[in-house]
Structures are given as C-alpha cells and as structure tokens.
Structure 1
Amino acid sequence: MQGTVYSFETESREGVVLLDDGSPVSFDAAAFDAGGMRFLRPGQRVRMNVEGDRVTLVTLYTLADPMR
C-alpha cells in the first residue's frame, strides 16, 4: 500500500498518510520504528505494510522499490 505523508509528530513518532483516494491511514511509533527511518516530512511518498487493520511498517517509497 502506498500513500503520501500528511502529518508526522517527531516526539511520538506517529503520523497520518493519505492514500491516493484521499483516505487517511494512521500509523504508530512501532510501524515507524520498523522502517528504520529517523524522520518524515509532509508530502513524502511512503510504502506501508498492513496486517488486518493495523499498519506494521512504514518505509520511504522509491522508484526502485522492489515491492511495487
């Protein structure tokens, strides 16, 4: 699943991603930490892994992303 970062809180490491249809998807610190990133900015493109109704991983999306 892919989307665009709408908001990100540095201290809590939680945020919201907007899917291409405009639907918001929240992620928690555990999903952010699993991606190994340090920071996100609004407007960045990300890839998310979802299990059930929970985001488990957030990583930066690149054109060379093998999971596309």
Structure 2
Amino acid sequence: MQATAYTYDPETRSGSVLLDDGTPVPFAADAFDAGGLRLLRPGQRVRIEVRQDAAPAGPPTITLVTLQTF
C-alpha cells in the first residue's frame, strides 16, 4: 500500500502517514526500523505494510514503512 509521510520524530523514530484518501495513520518505531530507513521527510512517498487489528472498525497497524520506488 502507498502513502505519504506526514510527520516524523527522529528521537522516537515514530510518526504518521497520510493514506491516499487523506486519513492519517500513526506508525511506531518498530515499523520505521523494519523498513531500514534512517530519516523520513514529510511529503515523501512511502510504501507501507499494514496489519488489521482485531477491532474491524479500528485503524490499521503499520508494520513497515519504507520509501516508494518506481
């Protein structure tokens, strides 16, 4: 799935992305670390992998954030 980097805190290595419909979804440090990135800037196009949590109406949990390559 693709998204756009929205926020990123280098101290906590966590942040959020915007899905293509404009929905913000947070990600934790473990998802950032899984992607092998060192820095993320708002506006960068990223590829994310998600795991849908047990609550069907809840937001997805991002398990990986990495740069989108074409």
What TM-score results when the alignment is normalised by the length of structure 1?
0.88
Cα drift, residue 60 of structure 1: 0.3
2:67 aligned to which of 48, 54, 60: 60
Cα drift, residue 13 of structure 1: 0.3
Identity among equivalent positions (%) equals: 62
What TM-score results when the alignment is normalised by the length of structure 2?
0.86
CA distance in 1 between counterparts of 2:63 and 2:21 reads 21
CA distance in 1 between counterparts of 2:63 and 2:17 reads 13
Structure 2 counterparts to residues 20-31 of structure 1, below 5 A: 20-31=20-31
Q: Secondary structure of the equivalent of 1:47?
A: strand
Residue 48 in structure 1 maps to residue 48 in structure 2: yes
- Which residues of structure 2 form unaligned runs of 5+? 53-59
Amino acid at match of 2:64: L
- Which residues of structure 1 form unaligned runs of 5+? 64-68
Instruction: Tell me the matched-pair count.
Output: 63
Q: Which runs of 4+ in 1 moved over 3 A?
A: none
CA distance in 1 between counterparts of 2:28 and 2:14 reads 5
